Amino acid sequence: MCTVDIRTDFHIAINNISNWKNSYERKIYVHRKLLINIMFRAICTKFVYEAFKEGEMIDSSNVEEATQYVEDFYKGMAENIMPKLIGWLRNMQNDEMVGTVNYHFYKCLAYDAEIKDDSMHELEFIYVFEQLNDACVLFYIAYILAGKTAKEALEAVSGKACSAIPNDDFTSLKEFFQPCISDFMKENYSNSFRYD
């Protein structure tokens, strides 16, 4: 179980799904809301991580301050990415990954989700899961900016002892946090929706 509080991110994702599902026709919902937002968040988080690795972010005196700084940095990055997003997605190669997500794979799932409830539920699950995964990366960055070592940051975010530090790249970091997110989702996700 993650030790950082990802419940806020979880509830935001669940509320987004509920609001979008009630506001948009199914085709728009699965493509423009779920799919595009999975990719948007992954791309924004990747760019924030790259800025962090390039030393473009400032250190903070504590985790709370660093978390707010990373959140604000993310929002600024999102504003820059939004106008370019659709063009980038159109030009992505079929096998191109953004961390642990692949646009073309999820696009195929979204087409299935237009008519198949199971595919729509899977895409909804992925949307929530990936939002939490990206949130863990942002928390990790905040802990480092607050003066923690990589090992301390990994342990603080994941809630587990870290015997080996993953490779120093965005994908490996996301993969590292996936088991704690899976545990969280097992405990919380199935009770969040009632499908008729």
Give pLDDT < 70 ranges for the chain: 1-3, 191-196
Tokens of 68: 């707010």
The full set of domain ranges for the chain reads 7-188
> Across the strands, what pairs with 98?
101
Distance CA 29, CA 13 (A): 14
The pLDDT score that the predictor gives to residue 4 is 85
Q: Return the pLDDT at 193.
A: 59
Residue 23 has what pLDDT?
A: 97
Measured N-to-C along each axis, helices 117-145 and 36-53 cross at an angle, to the nearest 10 degrees, of 20
Question: Phi, psi (5° rounding) for residue 40?
Answer: -60, -50
Q: So what's the pLDDT on residue 196?
A: 43
Dihedrals phi, psi of 71, to nearest 5 degrees: -60, -45
pLDDT, tens only, 157-177: 998 888 888 888 999 999 999
The torsion angles phi and psi of 174, rounded to 5 degrees, stand at: -60, -40
Q: CA-to-CA distance for 187 and 79, rounded, in angstroms?
A: 34
